[in-house]
Chain A
Amino acid sequence: MAFTIETYATTAEAARAMGADARFLAGGTLVMRDVNAGDQSFTRIIRSTDPALTAIRGTGDGISVGACVTLHQIVANPDLAFLAPVARQVGGPQVRNMGTVGGNLFAPHPYGDFTVALLAIGAKVTTAQGQKPVDDFLRDRDRSGLVTEILIPRPRDPGSFGWHKVSRTKPKGASVMSIAAYLPREGGRIRNVRIAFGAMGGHPLRATGAERALEGQSLDASTIARAAAVTLEGLSPPTDPLASEWYRREVAAVHLTRLLTRMERS
């Protein structure tokens, strides 16, 4: 095993140490799989013991979450209650005790469920280069360097956020697809809607067609039907051992309809 392990006291030092031959070790649920399998594509493992990486703190209109905060910490934090149903569906208890929010941003298909929620809620990611929306971050995440924190806006009405994960085994299973919907409403109309899908492309993607159909409308059966009709716009579902591309295309609208209908009724 030809690895060197580098542990840094601050995120600044860890960020400087990153490089093409290095992997940052957060919870390790994905990195250590590669190490165990004898992956030779990296030789350095970077860690940081900076307490900022595991801190959760309120920032007025949002919540700052350190990149190494675990999914279990999310479930346990009352300030993040709207995200608890999402975090609770990532892996089993052991994976949630280990896996982190930062690691989830990099998780390859079909993983990345928590990132689907971050994309829908409009979170921002902080790296050495500054802050960017999750949308931009995901487009070139391979070159991001160290992520230090994730800024999560607090929805004014927690009921405006909805989550639906489709998996073959319960309560633990990888996603056939997952959907997060953020539907803020003003005077009964949906404003600044964001719908994100997981396991329907190389990384979590926004359903741009459905968003257009919902924007400015009231949430009712006919709006939901119009959004469902264009569900696949913006998505490019792959074939994998969990489901074929064909199957994912067939059922995406069904699941979006279920989620939006549940949100309409609550």
Chain B
Amino acid sequence: MGKTPVTLTLNKAERAGFTDPGENLLNFLRRGLGDLSPKYGCGQGTCGACTVLIDGEPQLSCLVLAETVSGKTVNTTGGLADGAQLHALQTAFMDGFAAQCGYCTPGMLMAAKALLDRNPRPSRDEIAEAISGNLCRCTGYAPIIDAILAATGQQVQG
């Protein structure tokens, strides 16, 4: 079975690799391009741990056929920090203990980033909606919602 070349912009860098027919984007990013930040949780779209931004929209990389992102822009948690300078969301997650085991965190961060990119001052309900495709089995979600609110500079209540 022949391999297909894929070129894309990953975290602001031009990248290229070869994908097997039927390979999903998550696999391609992790094994093909060495970006280990998106996580494999369920392979069924249910958990959201593999969430990446494709042309700015949060999508489930485990359900995207890798070759369909040719020519597109993909952003992952691996590209959030600017050198040693963490993204405001990352700092807020750290300060607010919004991660326990941490497996859902990369997906949560990308879902949250997509929200803040189009709505810099979301309400609690809007945040809950934005992360509704991401499962967390440790925190009970409240610290995650608080951290996203804090990252926007809004008062966190209760």
Contact = CB atoms under 8 A, between A and B. Distances in A.
A32 B26 CA distance: 12
A111 to B, nearest CB: 11
A36 B21 CA distance: 12
Range of interface residues on chain A? 20 to 34
Given A4-B21, A5-B21, A94 B111 contact: yes
A47 B67 CA distance: 11
**Which 7 pairs between the two chains have the least Cβ-Cβ distance?**
A92-B133, A3-B22, A1-B22, A32-B63, A172-B132, A36-B43, A92-B132
B60 A29 contact: yes
A45 interface: yes
Q: What is the interface of chain A mostly: helix, strand, loop, or mixed? A: mixed
Contacts of A4: 1, 21
B132 A45 contact: no
B20 interface: yes
A94 B21 contact: no
Interface string A90-129: 0111110110000000000000000000000000000000
A152 B23 CA distance: 35
A171 B129 contact: yes
Nearest to A170: B132
A172 B128 CA distance: 10
Most chain A beta carbons < 10 A, residue from B44, B60, B67? B60
A71 to B, nearest CB: 12
A96 to B, nearest CB: 9
Interface in A1-57: 1-5, 25, 28-29, 32-33, 35-37, 45, 47
B80 to A, nearest CB: 18
Interface string B44-72: 11001001000001111011110110000
Contacts of B58: 93-94, 97
Interface in A51-100: 72, 91-95, 97-98
8 contacts: A5-B22, A29-B45, A36-B44, A72-B57, A92-B48, A93-B114, A93-B133, A94-B58
Nearest to B61: A94
Contacts of B24: 32, 35-36
B63 A91 contact: no
B1 A37 contact: no
A37 B43 CA distance: 8
A72 B129 CA distance: 14
Contacts of A172: 132-133
Given A95-B133, A97-B57, A3 B45 contact: no
Contact of A98 (B22, B64, B114): B64
Contacts of A1: 1, 20-23
B134 to A, nearest CB: 7
A32 to B, nearest CB: 4
Interface in A163-216: 171-172
B142 to A, nearest CB: 16
